Amino acid sequence: MTQRNNHVIKTQPPAKMLPLAALMLASSLSSPQLAAAQEASAEGTLKTVTVRDQQESPTSAKENLLVKKTGIAKGDQALKDIPQTVTVMTEKLMNDRNLDDLRQVLKTTSGVTFLAGETGEEDVRMRGFSLQQAGDLYVDGLRDAPLVERDTFNLDRVEVLKGSASMLFGKGSTGGVVNQVNKQPFLMDQNEVNVTVGSGNSRRLTGDFNKQTGENTALRLNAMLHKADNWGASVDKKGAAASYRWGIGERDEFTTSLYHLETNGRPLYSHPWMVDNGTSINGGPRNSGVNPSGTMVPVLDAKNYYGMSSDHLRTDSTYGTFAHQHRFDQDNELKTTVRMGHYSRDLLGTQVGFKRLTSFSGLNDNTELSRNPKARYGDSDVLQAQSDYTSKFQWLGHQHSLIAGVDFNDEKARRNNNATAGLTTPYDSTLVGTPNNGVGIVDGRPWAPTLSFKSQNLGTYVQDTVQLNDTVKLQGGLRLERFSARYTDAQGYSVALGKTLASPRIGTLWQPDPSTTYYTSWGTSYNTSGDTYLYGVGTQLSPTVVQNGKTVANANLTTLNTPPEKSQNFEVGGKWELFEGKSLLGLAFFHSEKYNERNTDVDTAANQYLLSGKRHATGLEFNFAGRLSAAWEMFYNHTWIPTARIDVSSATGNMVQGDRPGLTPEHSASLWSTYRVAPMWRVGAGLNYRSKQTPLINSTLTTAAFTTVDAMVEHTLSDNTVLKLNVSNLSNQRYIDQVYSGFYIPGTPRRVELSLKTLF
C-alpha cells in the first residue's frame, strides 16, 4: 500500500543531524532541485524544499507473506545475512489463517511440537529440544518467560530462529527461540476493525488504530475481545495495547507502551487414548502386564469436554516498556529498552482417564471415565533492561558490522505446582455419553505457595561480521553471563546457586551475487540446572547447612549443584531470493547435540529426574515465503529429522539409551498458499502435516501421523471492506495434537469462521 504525502525538508546547520527520512528524500531530488539547493548553500542557508513523493507503508507484514529483515539476531539484519534458519510468520499469514493464539502460530511452524501435561504446561519443543517451558519465548527481544496465555492481536509478526542462540539471548535456546514482534506506531492515519464469528459460539472483535499526531510522532492502540463456549472448553479473553512514538526518523527516537491481556477460560486438559490392540493405557490393564505397544488412537470426539464446570485457566499479563534509539550517524546507533511487568496464572484442570475399559468393542456411551484434579498457581514480577549497539566501520582494510550489548533480568516469583489441597468432591466418574455435564465444585482453596524464587541474570555479548572480500563474510561472537537464584519453600528453608556461562558462535557466508547466500555456522547453548522453570518446584526443601561460610543444599537439591546442560548446533545451508526478489527460499542441514539433559516428571512422588546424558538430532530444514506471481503467494516450511537418538542415558524403563527422543517426529510441514482468482476474489488453502512421534517418556508407543486441511475464501466488498470465510480441519480429522505418557490433548475439530474487516 502506498500513500501520497507532502514532505518538507528544512535546512539546518551542518552540526545538527537531519531526520533520516529527510536524508533519503533529499537523495531523490531532481537535478533542478539540487541546483537550487546548491545555490542557496553557497549563501550559507538553504531554502525550504517541498517534495511530493510516494511513501511505502510501514505495515508490510500486514500485506505480505515475506519480510526480508528481522531483529531476531540483534540489530536490523537481512534474513540472508543470518547464518541460521529463520522462519517468519507475518501478520498477513496469521490473518489469512485466523491464528489468534501463539500456540496456533507455532503449530504452523515445522519442527515444533507440544507436550501435554505437567499440570497443564505446554512445554514447547523445537527439533525435539525443549524451549524451557516458555523460557525461550521473547517479545521484542526481551525474555517472555512467565507461564501465561498469549494472543496475536498486537503482533506484527512472529520470528523463529532455529538452533543454538545463547550467544544472542543467553541460557537456553538449544532448539531455537521465538520472538514476538509487537506493532509499532507509524506516520500515517490508518484504522482497522475486524469482527469474526464461528463454530463453538465463537465471537472475536479486534481493533487497530494508528494516528499520526505530529510531524514525527504517532499513537497506536490495539484492542481485542474474544469469547467462545467451544462445547465446554470456553475462551474468554480481553486485551489492550497502547504505544506512543516520537522523534520518528530523527537522531533520538522514543517509544513508550503499555500491554495488558487477561484470560478466564476453561481448558480441555486431557482426553485418554487407547492403542491399536484395544488395550487401555490408563488404569489397570497397563499395570497388569498387558503389552502396551502400539499406536495411540484418539477414540473420543474432539468436541467432548469431560472436565468440571468449575475448571478454569486464568492468566494476567501486564507490562510497560520504554525504548530509546539514539542514532550517532547512519552507521552507528544505540538502542536501550526497559520493561517492567506482572504476570499471574491460576489453573484448575481435570485429567480424564478410562476407568474400566479394556477393548474398543467395550466403548459406548455408558463407558465410565475417571476425573482427577490438576492445579497450579504462580505469579511473577519481572524487571528487564538491555542496550544494543550496532556499528558499521572500516578497519584494517575490511568492512566490519559490529553488534554488542548488555542485558539484565530480575524476576521474583511464587509457585505451587500441585495446588489441589482442599479441593472437595465430586471428583468422581462420568460417562462417555455425558460430556459437559455441568458438574462442578465450590473452590475454596487458600492460596499457599510451596516455593518462591528470586533470579537475576546479567549478560554481555559482542559479535563482529567482517567483509573479507566482495563475496565472503566471516562472523564471530561471544556472550558471557552470570545467573544467580535463590529458592525458598513454605517453611522458610532456602538454597542459593550461581553460574557463570560462556557461549561462542562462529559463521561464514559466501554471497556470490546479491540474491544468493551460502553459509555455515556453529554455536553453543547452556541450561543451568537450577533454572527458573527447569527445576521441579514442588519439592520441599530441608534446612540448609553452612560449611566454611558457604550454603550447602541437602540431598533433595543436589541437581542445583550439577553442571549446566550443554548443547551445540552445526548448520550449513543456502538462501536464495527468487522471482525478482519477491520470494526467499532457504535450505539447511543441521546437527544438534545436547549433553547432561534433564527432564522432570512432576507427577511422580519424588519429582523423578530422567537423565538422558547425551542425545542428538540431525536433519534438513526447508523454507519458502513470498510471491510466485502477482496473484499467487505461498508460505511453506518443512523439517525432516531422519536421525534422532538418545546416545548416552542412565535412565531405565522409559526413553532408554538408543531410543528416538519423544516429541521428535521425523517429518513436520506447513503449507499455506493464496491465489487472486479475480480482482475482488482471493482463495487460499493450506496443509499441516506431522508424522508419528512418541510421547516424552514412553518409547514403545507412537501417535499416528496426520494431515489437516484448511481453506479460505475472501471477497473484497469495497475499497475498505473485506469479507472472509475460513474452514480449518476441513475433513474434521480426529488426531492427537499434544501428547503425554497417559493422555493427550485432541486437535481442534472442524471450525468455520466468518470475518468482516473494515479499514477507515
**Residue-number span of the structural domain to which 13 is assigned:** 2-56
Which band of pLDDT confidence, cut at 50, 70 and 90, is reported for residue 649?
confident
User: How confident is the model at residue 117, as a pLDDT?
Assistant: 74
Where do runs of H (alpha helix) occur along 295-416? none
Sheet holding 129-130, edge to edge: 112-114, 124-126, 129-130
Q: What's the confidence (pLDDT) of residue 281?
A: 44
Residues 662, 126: contact at Cβ < 8 Å? no
Is the residue at 228 inside a domain?
A: no
Confidence of residue 132 (pLDDT cuts 50, 70, 90): low
User: Is 339 contained in some domain?
Assistant: no
- From the list 183, 177, 190, the residue with the least C-alpha distance to 153 is 183
Residue 7 maps to a domain: yes
Residue 759 has pLDDT above 80, yes or no: yes
CA 670 to CA 685: how far, in whole Å? 11
Which residues, at least 6 apart from 237, have a Cβ–Cβ distance to it below 8 Å? 149, 151, 224, 225, 226, 227, 261, 262, 263, 264, 265
Q: Is the peptide bond before 426 cis (omega within 30 degrees of 0)?
A: yes
CB 744 within 8 A of CB 270: yes
Residue 514: how many other CB atoms lie within 10 Å: 9
- pLDDT, tens only, 580-635: 999 999 999 999 998 876 654 444 444 444 545 788 999 999 999 999 999 999 99
* Side chain identity, residue 602: V
Contacts of 537 (CB under 8 A, 6+ apart): 415, 417, 450, 451, 453, 487
**Residue-level pLDDT at 16:** 37
Whole-number Cα distances in Å, 552 to 330, 529, 543, 615: 53, 15, 10, 31
**Angle at CA of residue 160, ends 154 and 163, nearest 5°:** 155
Q: Residue 567: which of 630, 658, 656, 505 has the closest Cα?
A: 505
Specify the pLDDT at position 21.
39
Q: Residue 456's closest CA among 412, 488, 491?
A: 412
Q: What is the spatial distance between Cα 326 and Cα 433, in angstroms, rounded to a whole number?
A: 64
* Model pLDDT for residues 664-723, shown as the tens digit of each residue: 999 999 999 999 999 999 999 999 999 999 887 766 788 999 999 999 999 999 999 999
- Cα 262 off chain centre by: 18
With 60 as the cut, is the pLDDT of residue 48 above it?
A: no
Q: Which residues lie closer than 8 Å to 644 by C-beta, 6 or more apart?
A: 128, 615, 616, 617, 618, 619, 660, 661, 664, 666
Share of the chain above pLDDT 90, in %: 60
On whether residue 10 sits in a domain, the answer given is: yes
Asked if 534 and 560 count as a contact pair (C-beta separation under 8 A), the reply is: no
Q: CA 548, 549, 553, 559: dihedral to nearest 10 degrees? A: -80
Predicted pLDDT at 76: 85
How many alpha carbons lie under 13 Å from residue 529 in its C-beta half-sphere?
18
Residue 18 lies in a domain: yes
Total residues found in the chain within this entry: 760
Measured distance CA(90)–CA(92) in Å, rounded: 5
Measured distance CA(367)–CA(361) in Å, rounded: 11
Let me know how many helices (H) and strands (E) the chain has, helices first. Answer: 7, 44
C-alpha cell of 283? 488404569
| 351 domain-assigned | no
Mean pLDDT of the chain: 84
Q: Are 373 and 349 in contact (CB under 8 A)?
A: yes
Using CA atoms, how far apart are residues 486 and 691, in angstroms rounded to an integer? 42
C-alpha cell at 365: 456411551
The one-letter amino acid code at 221 reads L
- How far is 243 from 645, CA to CA, in rounded Å? 47
Kindly state the average pLDDT of the residues 558-579: 82
Q: How many domains does the chain have?
A: 1
11 within some domain: yes
Choice among 51-60, 388-397, 558-567 with the minimum mean pLDDT:
51-60
How far CA 254 is from CA of 208, 326, 339, in Å, comes to 21, 9, 14
Helix, strand, coil shares of the chain, percent, nearest 5, are 10, 55, 40
Predicted confidence at residue 499, as pLDDT, reads: 82
pLDDT digits (tens, 9 = 90+) for 141-183: 999 988 899 999 999 999 999 998 888 888 876 889 999 999 9
The answer on pLDDT for 68 being more than 60 is yes
**H or E segment and range at residue 61:** helix 60-63
Secondary structure (3-state) at 451: strand
Contacts 24+ apart (CB under 8 A), 355-364: 355/283, 355/429, 356/283, 356/284, 357/274, 357/280, 357/283, 358/278, 358/279, 358/280, 358/285, 359/278, 359/279, 360/274, 360/278, 360/299, 361/278, 363/299, 363/432, 364/432, 364/433
Rounded Cα distance between 620 and 617, Å, is 10
How far apart, in whole angstroms, are the C-alpha atoms of residue 605 and residue 539? 10
DSSP letter (8 states) at residue 168 = H
Instruction: For residues 29 and 27, give the distance between their C-alpha atoms in angstroms, rounded to a whole number.
Output: 6
pLDDT tens digits for range 416-464: 888 888 888 778 889 999 999 999 998 888 877 888 888 899 999 999 9
Calpha distance 637→93 (Å, rounded): 13
Distance between CA atoms of 187 and 184, rounded to whole angstroms? 10
Go through 669-699 and write b for each residue having 16 or more CB atoms within 10 A of its CB, e for each that does not. bbbbbbebeeeeebebbbebbbbbbbbbbbb
Residue 451: all three cell numbers together: 516455593
Q: Which of 713, 704, 753, 745 is nearest to 729 (CA)?
A: 753
Residue with cell string 518462591: 452
Give the pLDDT of residue 49.
41
Task: Among 38-47, 359-368, 750-759, name the most confident range.
Answer: 750-759
Report the pLDDT averaged over residues 348-375: 84
With 0-12 / 13-18 / 19 or more C-beta atoms within 10 angstroms meaning exposed / middle / buried, residue 407 is buried
Going by their DSSP bridges, the two strands 632-648 and 667-678 should be labelled as antiparallel
Alpha carbons 655 and 608: distance in angstroms, whole number:
13
DSSP structural state of residue 356: S
CA neighbor of 170 nearest in space, from 85, 84, 74, 102: 74
Model pLDDT, residue 120 = 59
DSSP string over 238-284? EEEEEEEEESTTSSEEEEEEEEEEEEEE-----B-EEETTS-BSSSH
Separation CA 380–CA 146 (nearest Å): 7
Q: What would the mean pLDDT of 46-65 be, rounded to a whole number? A: 53
Give the integer Cα–Cα distance in Å for 324 and 247.
10
Q: Is 274 left (phi over 0), alpha (psi -120 to 50) or beta?
A: beta
Higher pLDDT, 468 or 541: 468
> Within a domain: residue 181?
no
Q: Strands, DSSP E only, in 542-613?
A: 545-547, 550-552, 565-578, 583-595, 598-601, 608-611
